[in-house]
A and B are shown apart, each in its own frame.
Chain A
Amino acid sequence: MRLIESIGQWLDARLQIGGVIRETAEHRVPRETASWFYVFGSAAFVVFMLQIVTGILLALIYVPSAGEAWSSLQTLNHNVTLGWYIRALHGWGSDFMVAIVLIHMVQVFLFGAYKYPRELTWIVGVFLLLVTLGMAFSGQVLRFDQDAYWGLGIGASIASRVPFVGPRIVNLMLGGPIIAGATLSRFFALHVFVIPGLLIAFVAVHLLMVVKIGINEWPMPGRVVRKATYVKEYHELTKKEGVPFVPGAIWKDLFFAAFILLSLAVCAAYFGPFGPSGPPDPTIIQTAPRPDYFFLWLYAVLSLLPPSMETPALLIGPVVLILALLVLPFAFGEGEKSWQRRPIAVLTVLLAAVSLGTFTHLAENAPWSPVMDAWSGVPIPAEFLRNRSALERQGALVFQLKQCHNCHSLGNEGGKRGPDLDAVAVRLTQDQLVRQVIQGGGNMPAYGKNLSPAETTALVDFLETLHPAGQSPARDASRAVVLESGATTPSAAPSPGNP
């Protein structure tokens, strides 16, 4: 014991940091901030530490070469003892980190912590969110599989739409004319050197400010922030009813960090690593690329935006969003901190959460994507074929063969790109069906050139049978009259509606 003490004294005589550490540990924080609401920042930090450790472990095996990255991931998954688990920890760590950073941000926003004098702490926090997302995206690229390859293509297509310099940005991003070895190498450099360097620097500044300025006090309705008086009030508060950070507040951080690490370890062990999916060979086009979880909402937005709004939304939207986050502490630097007195803040969080949740949920099902193999792999349910005539069944064959099923579902089977056709005969008359099939429209291709008259007749006859039992198909009353008059009096004078 005495030996340890003397070694400690020897070190501190030379390092001179014992005093700083003691001061930091014992600095007084408002009593109410020793709360379970104040644990997310430290949890994000702990997960980041784990990411550094697992990242270095992965780098022992991973090869950042477009020709070998994918097989080195297979090696990690199958040939290296517990390689799969380290990959799983790193992948789940990424998801946990993004989630915790977002929760931390929401908590800080609702508690008004961005207000005076913590504006810069918030702004650095916004940069921390951006670099965390940058880590998530570049990490997805390093898992160099089909999704990574085509995800890069999507990133390049978005970047190319920047006016004037778009194609140059694409070349810079890809490191050449195509997605290839140089692309992976530069994303490796970003993921392993550049962005972590920024992340560490931002974390250091962020933490320094939290310690120096003091943690945000628990917001009380009616306790209003004023620049003239705030600092004095805060110091009185910490003096009067403050507790030393260690051990007064830190034990909750420690408990929560342990809980998060344990959850992460369990998720990684139970669900395993992410991918890799198929090899990054661009000649294998039988693939349906999907982004990682935290970018699914973007996938939905890109599918649902009207084409004309897409480029402006893609290029202006993020700029406006980031600017809004950066301006926030200056625009609302004073006033109420409590969420109970800030209904618009609460509604903003709810709106953002519901929007992101809805888009993510939609993207998990991706109803806008055609089901590429429905025409050959998803049969028409039997109830749509029972008691049908030969011509109608021929129409059902046309329905499959012409890939209608890729976009239209029957009995909830098949694509959801277009409307389901379970009861299409109730919605459209025979003539309207023919017109829709031949001419398309309403976001449906025209099939006029690819259907013979016989195929069209068969297909429309089949579609005519698609109506609920007991509900008759839509029909054009005048058509019946015309056909009837035409049939009974073929030699009569031309009736008004005769074609």
Chain B
Amino acid sequence: MTLQGGLTRRDLFMKIGLLVNGIVGAILAVPIVGYLLSPISRERKGAYDAWVPLGDLEKFPSGQTRFATYRNPVVNPTDGDTADIACWVRNVDGQSFQVFAVNCAHLGCPVRWFPQSGLFMCPCHGGVYYQDGSRASGPPERGLFEYAYKIEDGKLLIKTGEMPTPGQASNIGGERRPCA
């Protein structure tokens, strides 16, 4: 049987069949894409960041820069040691603090603090920073990433949750300072 325009019944059914599959496919694509994009959609709500305690203030003597670690606020059971994150805490004058990410502002390698020369040095591509986190030399285009901090009940807390990267400016007081 041929309908008008040369379209047979079977052609029509095939086209309806394709259309139905297309619709079902589009419906199924919603949860699939939603699942794939979940790391992004979760971040959009700002759910990654939280205030995390680094310990008592006595751990960070005035005028010194000390190594500190914390458990990332977002943790999954299979994360193992990878959710233990390190940072550098500088007690500027007993009143104010600076908390730097260990990740170099160039490409994220872990910077090390050298109290004798008052410098942070990166072992990868040779970035160097002054004690206040500002860029001293090497390939980084900016100073170290800095976490927001607050003091509560004699404890130092920082706002963190996401690995800082050069393209992302959240929670980071990374305005360029002139070289000291």
Contact = CB atoms under 8 A, between A and B. Distances in A.
A276 to B, nearest CB: 13
B103 to A, nearest CB: 6
A166 interface: yes
B140 A307 contact: yes
Interface in B134-165: 136-141, 161-163, 165
Contacts of A417: 126
B76 interface: yes
B123 A287 contact: yes
B83 interface: yes
A358 interface: no
B167 interface: yes
Given A372-B123, A445-B137, A166 B110 contact: no
B177 to A, nearest CB: 13
Contact of B74 (A154, A178, A288, A307): A178
Interface of A: 65-68, 149-150, 153-154, 156-162, 166-168, 170-172, 174-183, 185, 279-283, 285-289, 299, 302-303, 305, 307-308, 310, 368-370, 372, 375, 401-404, 406-407, 417, 440, 443-447, 449-450
Contacts of A66: 78-82
Given A157-B166, A180-B83, A174 B125 contact: no
A432 to B, nearest CB: 18
A67 B58 CA distance: 32
Nearest to B111: A285
Nearest to B170: A167
A168 B43 CA distance: 8
Given A167-B167, A286-B112, A305-B139, A153 B103 contact: yes
A347 B77 CA distance: 54
The residue among A149, A166, A370 with the most chain B CB atoms within 10 A of its own CB is A370
Contacts of B102: 282, 285
B93 to A, nearest CB: 15
Interface string B56-89: 0000000000010100101111111111111000
Given A310-B139, A401-B116, A403-B116, A160 B168 contact: yes
Contacts of A443: 137-138
A363 to B, nearest CB: 10
Contact of A450 (B43, B72, B118, B121): B118
Nearest to B102: A285
29 contacts: A66-B78, A66-B82, A161-B167, A166-B165, A166-B167, A170-B165, A171-B43, A172-B39, A176-B39, A176-B74, A177-B163, A178-B85, A178-B161, A178-B163, A180-B76, A180-B83, A282-B84, A282-B102, A285-B67, A287-B110, A287-B123, A303-B139, A308-B141, A370-B121, A403-B114, A403-B121, A406-B114, A449-B131, A450-B116
